[in-house]
Amino acid sequence: MSNINHHLGRRAFLKRSAAFSALSGGSFLGNLAMMNDAAAQTASDYKALVCVFLLGGNDHGNTIVPTTTELYDAYVAARGGVSLARTSLLPITPSATAIGAYPGPTLGLHPSFTGVKSLFEAGQCAIIANVATLMQPTTKTQYANGVLLPAQLFSHSDQQNSWQTGLPDSPSATGWLGRAADVMLSQNGASPVSMCMSLGGNNMIQAGANVVQYQLTNQGSVQIKAVSPQDGFYGNVANAALLKQVIEESGSNNLFENEYAKIIKRSITADSAVRDALAGVPGSTAAFVAGNPLAAQMNLVARMIAARSALGHKRQIFYVTLGGFDLHSALLNDHAGRLGFVSTALEAFYNATVALGVASDVTAFTASDFGRALLANGDGSDHGWGGHHFVVGGAVKGGRLYGRYPDTLLGSADDVGEGRLLPSASVDEYAAVLARWYGVTDLTAVLPHSNRFSNYNMAFL
C-alpha cells in the first residue's frame, strides 16, 4: 500500500479518484428572426434532420381514419368502443402527387391533430402511408408462405432496433442517421460538438462509426458539476478550477487514464461550446406550450439550430422522443393526449424554423416501433406492423399522401391478422428520401438494403 500511495501522489490521486466520483453528481420568434439576419451573412448549405420517435407503437388506426361509408363502418365494427366519431374527425383532402390524383378513400385526422392538419393544408406536412420494417417487398401470400421477414415482428425492442439501424436481418453497431452523419461529417469541420444531438437519451439511430451522439437536456448541455464554476467541487469554485486543470493535464503512462481523460476533456469542451453558443439565444417561447414534454425538447432543438453558426455546424441531426404510445388500455383518452403533444410541438417547431429563416433547410419526421392492430382488444389495441408517418418542413412537398393507402377492411390483402397492416413501404424507402435530401449520394453506404426497393411514389422531398 505504501508504494501505491507513494506513486499516486496528490495530482494522480485527484485525477483518478475525483474524476470518477465527481461525475455522478423580447419574443422568442422575433429574436430568432433577428439572429437569422446575422447568421445569414455566413451560413450556406445548412441542413438538419429531426427524428421524432413515438415510443411504444403509435395507433395509426385512430391517427388517420377512412371516412367513406363502407370503410368507416368497417372501422367502427373492428374498433368498437375505441372508435372515433366521424363528426369528430378533421377532414383532409390529399392533393395529387407526381403520379396523379390521390386514389384512396376520404380521410379524417384524429381530432387532437389540429396543428398537423394546418401544416398539411398549408403544404408543409406530408403523410407517408403504411411504413414499417421489411426485408424485401412482400405480399400477403409470401408472408403466409414463410418469406424472409424482419426479426421478431411485433416486439418493441427488436422493431425499434430495426427501424433505427435500417438492418432488420442482422445486428448492427450503427444506425442509419449515424451512417448519414459519417458521410456528411466533413461539412462541420472541427466543431467540438457532435452533429448528432439527442434529447431522447442514448439511441441506436444516431450511432455512427466515426460520429458519437451528444446528449442534451431540455435546458442544454449536461455539465460535469465538479468542474462547474457555478457548483464547484464540494461547493468550492477554486477547487473546481484546480480539478479541471488536473483532469486536463496529460502525460500519464496509464492507457485507461489517458483515454478517460480524453473523454472528460471532450465533454468539458463540448459543454463550454454549447453554453457559449446558447448564451445568445432566447431561452423560451410561448409558442412551445408549457407542460408538453415533446415541445420542451423541440424548443431546445430550435435553439441549437439558432446557434448553428456559433457551433460551427452546417449539418445537424436531432433525436427527440415521446413515450406512452403502447396503449393496450385507455386508448381513447391517452392517445388523444399523446397526439395533442405531437401536433402542437410540430406546429410550434415549424413556426420557429420559419422565424429562423431555415424552414426549407430543416425536416422533421416521425418514426415508431410499429403500427397497431385495427381490431380492438378491450379498450386498447395490440402490437401491429405497418403504420402511417408524418414529415414536416419547408422543403416537404406537403398536402399529399405518399405510398399507397392500405385496404383497411379486416381480411384484406393488406391484413396479416387482426387488422395488422402488411407494410407497402419500407423504412429503407422512407429513410432514403430523407438521406438523399440531406446530401447523401451513395445510399447503400447508409441504407445497405435500399436497392431492394423502388417505391414509385415516395418523392416527398
Dump pLDDT digits (tens) for 45-60: 899 999 999 999 999 9
For cell 427488436, what's the residue? 158
Confidence label for 190 from pLDDT (cuts 50, 70 and 90): confident
pLDDT at 26: 39
Please give the grid coordinates belonging to residue 91.
377532414
Q: Let me know: does 297 contact 320? Beta carbons within 8 Å.
A: yes
Q: What is the DSSP letter of 124?
A: S
Q: Which residue has the higher pLDDT, 41 or 351?
A: 351
pLDDT at 37: 43
Confidence label for 264 from pLDDT (cuts 50, 70 and 90): confident
Nearest to 48 by CA among 304, 368, 222, 346: 304
The overall average pLDDT reported for the chain is 88
pLDDT at 239 over 80: no
Q: Which residue has the higher pLDDT, 260 or 185?
A: 185
pLDDT at 8 over 70: no
Please give the grid coordinates belonging to residue 107.
380521410
| DSSP code string of 30-57 | HHHHHHHHHHTTT--S-EEEEEEEETT-
pLDDT at 126 over 50: yes
- The mean pLDDT of 263-284, rounded to a whole number, is 87
Q: What percent of the chain has pLDDT over 90?
A: 73
pLDDT at 30: 54
The alpha carbon of residue 427 and the mean position of all alpha carbons in its chain are separated, in whole angstroms, by 14
Q: Let me know: does 231 contact 248? Beta carbons within 8 Å.
A: no
Distance CA 372, CA 193 (A): 38
Please give the grid coordinates belonging to residue 436.
438523399
Distance CA 288, CA 284 (A): 8
**Per-domain residue ranges for the chain?**
26-446
